[in-house]
Amino acid sequence: MITHDTVSACAPGRVELLGNHTDYNEGVVLGAAINRVICVSGVKSDRSISLTSADFGEVEMRPAELRPLQEKRWANYILGVADELRNLQVPVRGFTADISGDLPIGVGLSSSAAVELATALFLLKLFPTRLALLEIVKACQRAEHRYVGVQSGLLDQVISLFGRADHAVFFDCRSEEIRCVPFPAELALIIAESGKKRELAKGEYNSRVEETHAAARAFGARTLRDVSSADLDRRSDLSVLLRRRASHVIGENERVWRALKLLEAGDGIGFGKLMNESHESSRQNFENSTPELDLLVSIAQDLPGVLGARLTGAGFGGATVTLCERPRAQQVAAELSRRYADATGIAARVFVSRIADGAK
């Protein structure tokens, strides 16, 4: 029940345009907030923390017993943020929170960061406290590390919070520079779900973190941000696995820098080619694609009006993003859905997405 005491906050999902797995390697990334959100609404409570979700059920806990749950793990995203805010001296006590929204879950559009940010803004309004925006972002990241067990970078939370309508967000994960770059108005983004859910806490993501960090150590570098393609070419002693992992991250960083110039020039064709290169590197070098994602990308690349396509987000299932001439976008989305269903029997959601404002 909504009363005059009810507080609400919403945060959008995000689409990663370029810069795959660069964030935890202190690299650079381009993304955009999308017009699908998760909202958290509720009131203060004297006795307990009470969470409800139409998709996942209910959880109740005493504030003094705040801890990660082994069952009903969906609640850890919310509970972890509450705990991190308390560590920052936010006086979080009991509350009720209802979690809802239209952002697809577990498909690579960062529903996790959206629920974390919506929770953080909700609690900061419910228990009034001012925090710097990047401090909020980092509290959400720590919650994901400590309560969920995914050693994620800051990319998802930054884009969900700092997103701006009709702009891509550039994020330098080392300097923490955040810049909004106008996105060509004549281009549209199409998001296609593969029908294969992701579960990052199961280990593939954390394995890639370890492998890329091992590759950086092999170069004597702090991270792969400090290694160039020329450096990689000069090394013949790297294992095949570490060479592939390093090649992907190094290449992604270089593609982001090139893409910035292309966006400033309004060069959608060049940007689309970089997206195609990015997916091929994910497929061959990083092995975070799947047959379903590859099929969606190859179908999209074959359709008139499409400039490029790639997986978006961590991979290992999830969704793809397609760059398309805006007048053809609805037709391309329908044809992509039809051809994918014909080939797989999967009726996947495919939708044209607007680039939206960040969390509020």
**SS3 (DSSP) at 75:** helix
Per-residue HEC secondary structure of 149-164 comes to CCCCCCHHHHHHHHCC
Residue 178 bridge partners (DSSP) = 171
Q: What angle do CA 168, 170, 173 make, to 5 degrees?
A: 150
| Nearest in space to 304 (alpha carbons), one of 275, 324, 282, 283 | 324
* Class of residue 33 by CB neighbours under 10 A (exposed 0-12, middle 13-18, buried 19+): buried
Contact 110, 13 (CB under 8 A): yes
47: left (phi over 0), alpha (psi -120 to 50) or beta: alpha
Q: From residue 323, give the alpha-carbon distance in Å to each of 124, 247, 265.
A: 36, 24, 16
For 300, phi then psi, to 5°, come to: -60, -45
Q: What angle do CA 191, 193, 197 make, to 5 degrees?
A: 140
269/42 Cα distance (integer angstroms): 46
| Catalytic residue list contains 156 | yes
Catalytic option among 23, 83, 98, 156 = 156
**Which residue shows structure tokens 């959608």?**
268
Q: Using CA of residue 163, residue 167, residue 173, residue 178, what is the dihedral sign?
A: negative
| Nearest in space to 42 (alpha carbons), one of 77, 14, 78 | 78
Identity at 7, one-letter amino acid code: V
What are 229's two structure tokens? 């393609």
**Residues with active-site annotation:** 156
